[in-house]
Amino acid sequence: MDLRKLEAFYYVFKTGSFSRAAEEIFLSQPTVSTHISSLEKELGVKLFDRNGRNALPTPAGRLLFSRVRELFDLLKKTKQEISELKEQVEGEVIIGASTIPATYLLPPVLANFLKEYPRVSVSLEVSDSWEIWNKTINGEVDFGLTGGIFEDDFLQVEKVLEDDLIVIASPELNLDFTKVFNFSQLKTLPWVMREKGSGTRKAMERTLNQANLSFSELTVVLEVKTTEALVQYVLNGIGLGFTSRMVVKDYLDKGLLKEVKIKDLHFSRSFYLVWNPRREAFPLFCKLREFIKNNIGKARV
């Protein structure tokens, strides 16, 4: 049913007159009459008995009015709630995050934000940077936090944190961890790597390309979808791995993992907030983005 027709019906019922209803909603009387006739045809029943200038509702008309009144009350309430939502930091927000920020950076930030804004609920989608990028473009998440950015003009990007990346290995590999290796010495060793689309892997590929070296020369024996999985396989001696220093800090401190230094290569990458500027910027989204930017990396779990 068309809302304009229902509005015409509503005011004819309230005023008891086609002409007065037309004045209330700034339409011509013939237009109001056409709307009512159209509704009656659609429903297959008369809604009003015409008695001179008066419109007397039939039983079907009274039933429809009770439902239309409920509908209009609901619409009014919804408009009011949306208006309040535009002014208040409350409601639900969906964040997309790649694995490292989702696991190691966001927990303390979101914990503090939710304490400050208890009427907010957060849904967190975790995937690799490429998937989060696309989910943000498609509106599946309200904004993203990724370890990689991609070349297009769809999203607004803001760098929020620099990350130090290192090569790691289990002591079981029996390497001389006091020495600095040439890249060529490590090519034939087994590697555990994140999947294509991972911001971590993209950072390694970029650094190697800048040094005129090729990622494809590495002997990758295992690809995994998460950072935690990569660390566990490296701990078990399957091969070298490449990840964020902050992820493995405790393992390094305890001697469970060792850093493998490579001559003339320093790996780093940044984390970025990404969002679609074409979408409605509700205060909740803006406030949470700003909170993440100002607090990320300051406290970690």
Sorting pLDDT into bands at 50, 70 and 90, what band is 106? Answer: very high
Single-letter amino acid, residue 182: N
Rounded-to-integer distance, Cα 41 and Cα 137, Å = 44
CA atoms within 13 A on the CB side of 172: 10
DSSP class per residue in 156-183 = EEEEEEEEEEEEEE-GGG---TTSEEPH
Q: Is the pLDDT of residue 87 over 70?
A: no
User: Which region holds residue 174: left if phi is over 0, alpha if psi is between -120 and 50, else beta?
Assistant: left
The predicted structure's pLDDT at residue 301: 41
Predicted confidence (pLDDT) at residue 129 exceeds the cutoff of 80: yes
**Of 89 and 204, the one with more pLDDT:** 204
pLDDT band at 76; cut points 50, 70, 90: confident
Other Cβ atoms closer than 10 A to 61: 22
Three-point CA angle 149, 154, 156, nearest 5°: 65
pLDDT tens digits for range 29-44: 999 999 999 999 999 9
Q: Is residue 278 classed as helix, strand or coil in its secondary structure?
A: coil
pLDDT recorded at residue 85: 66
pLDDT of residue 86: 63
Pairing of strands 91-97, 143-146: parallel
Kindly report the backbone phi and psi dihedral angles of residue 203, in degrees, each rounded to the nearest multiple of 5, phi listed first. Answer: -65, -40
Reported as a single tens digit per residue, the pLDDT across 200-243 is: 899 999 999 999 999 999 999 999 999 999 999 999 999 999 99
Q: What angle do CA 125, 130, 133 make, to 5 degrees?
A: 65
Domains identified in the chain and CATH numbers:
3-85 (1.10.10.10), 94-156+273-295 (3.40.190.10), 162-269 (3.40.190.290)
> Which tokens go with 216?
């494809």
Q: Where are the beta strands (DSSP E) in 73-210?
A: 91-97, 120-126, 143-146, 156-169, 180-181, 190-194
The answer to whether residue 261 scores a pLDDT higher than 60 is: yes
Q: What is the spatial distance between Cα 244 and Cα 170, in angstroms, rounded to a whole number?
A: 16
pLDDT averaged over every residue in the chain: 91
Confidence of residue 299 (pLDDT cuts 50, 70, 90): low
